[in-house]
């Protein structure tokens, strides 16, 4: 995984209002970091974690609707 690319894609998705993609990238990056992966170089790890938490909070409703079957 390229954590920098994932972080930038998450940021761009939030900027563009693509909440589903932002949520997906945030989960992937969080899981990567939780398994001991490194933070994106040139980014402060504390700020990365804070932004991840913000994105996951702002997209939390998506997780509820994704699990529903029509």
Is the model's pLDDT at 70 over the cut of 50?
Answer: no
Angle at 46 between CA 42 and CA 49, to 5 degrees: 100
Whole-number pLDDT of residue 69: 43
Across 26-61, b (16+ Cβ under 10 Å) vs e yields bbebbebbeeeeebbeeeeeeebeebbeebbeebee
Q: pLDDT tens for residues 10-57?
A: 999 999 999 999 999 999 999 999 999 999 999 999 999 999 999 999
Whole-number pLDDT of residue 62: 78
pTM: 0.84
pLDDT band at 64; cut points 50, 70, 90: low
48's tokens: 């990365």
């Amino acid at each position: 995984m390229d954590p920098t690319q994932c972080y930038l894609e998450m940021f761009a998705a939030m900027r563009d209002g693509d909440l589903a993609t932002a949520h997906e990238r945030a989960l992937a990056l969080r899981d990567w970091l939780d398994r001991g992966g490194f933070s994106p170089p040139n980014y402060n790890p504390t700020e990365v974690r804070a932004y991840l938490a913000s994105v996951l909070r702002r997209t939390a409703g998506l997780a509820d609707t994704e699990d529903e079957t029509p």
